[in-house]
């Protein structure tokens, strides 16, 4: 989820399926901030926050 009030992307990833029925239900949340990069492993690409926010004016922090 891309935040419009600050340079922040909440990146949710789902656990890898295994023999355990509940392992695929495990989700991980990673906050990507400032000059970070969102790694989209399943797509084989990475999105730098600089590109995501290229034409977006984000208010200065309070």
pLDDT at 44: 96
pLDDT at 60: 78
Q: How far is CA 52 from CA 21, 22, 26, 55, in A?
A: 35, 33, 27, 8
Question: Which of 1, 11, 9, 6 is CA-nearest to residue 57?
Answer: 6
pLDDT at 19: 59
pLDDT at 23: 57
pTM of the model: 0.77
CB 37 within 8 Å of CB 49: yes
Sequential pLDDT tens for the chain (62 residues): 999 999 999 999 988 766 565 656 788 999 999 999 999 998 999 999 999 999 999 887 77
């Amino acid at each position: 989820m891309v935040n419009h009030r600050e340079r922040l992307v909440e990146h949710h990833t789902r656990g890898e399926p295994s023999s355990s029925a509940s392992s695929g239900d495990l989700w991980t949340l990673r906050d990507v901030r400032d000059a970070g990069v969102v790694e989209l492993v399943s797509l084989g690409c990475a999105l730098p926050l600089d590109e995501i926010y290229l034409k977006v004016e984000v208010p200065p922090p309070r």
